[in-house]
Each structure stands twice: as C-alpha cells, then as structure tokens.
Amino acid sequence: MSTWETILTIIGLGAITVITRSFFLFPDKEVPIPAWLREGLRYAPLAAMAAVVVPELLITQGELIHTWRDARVFGALAGALYFWWRRGMLGTIVVGTAVMLALRFVLGW
C-alpha cells in the first residue's frame, strides 16, 4: 500500500467506528425494535465479552487446548476466585496475571 492508500484506509476505518457505534442513533425517528428482541439484547454485552474471553483462554493456534496444564486457565480461575471473594477489578487483573505468569515461568506451562 502506498502512503495515501494507507491514509485513506485509516480514515475509512475511523468512519466505520462512527457508523457502527452510532448506527441506531443516526435516524431522527426511533427505529421500532420489538419488545422481545429488546429484552434479548440485554444479554448482548455479556455475550460479546464471553465470546472474546472464552476462546482467548481455551484456544491455542486455532485449536481447543488438549491439556489442563495451561497457565491461562489457572490464571483466569485465580482471577475469577479473587473477584468472587472481593469483587475488585484491579485485584482481579493483578492476581490473574500474576498466577498466569508464575505458572508460565516457574512451571513452564
């Protein structure tokens, strides 16, 4: 890609950010969405996060992990336990990442 093509691509990507994030904010009149769908859409953000997190923890190079000795899984478990215990964001991040790094560097998982 030439510099100008790259600039055009990046500007287009910025436009896509605005278009997708403001999609149903753009029309002046409310777009009717049936009540049942509106209720269901409440689950969308949680679903989006689970859809990012679970493969991130369980998939290595395009395949489901074959061993339970995986630093990521135990790191995430430790983080989740901490969250269940204390409900703190920062603590969850620190504990989970620390356990993951410890398993990776000490046990070589």
Site for another protein in 4-23 (CB under 8 A): 5-14, 16-18, 20-23
85 binds another protein (CB under 8 A): no
C-alpha closest to that of 78 among 57, 92, 61: 92
Phi and psi dihedrals of 29, rounded to 5?
A: -90, 140
Mask: binding to another protein, 18-57, rule CB under 8 A, as x and -?
x-xxxxxxx-x-xx-x--xxxxxxxxxxxxxxxxxxxxxx
Q: Nearest approach, Cβ of 67 to another protein (angstroms)?
A: 16
With H, G, I as helix, E, B as strand and everything else as coil, classify residue 59. strand
Q: Nearest approach, Cβ of 106 to another protein (angstroms)?
A: 13
100 binds another protein (CB under 8 A): yes
Q: Nearest approach, Cβ of 63 to another protein (angstroms)?
A: 9
Spell 23-47 as b/e; 16+ CB within 10 A means b.
eeeeeeeeeeeeeeeeeeeeeeeee
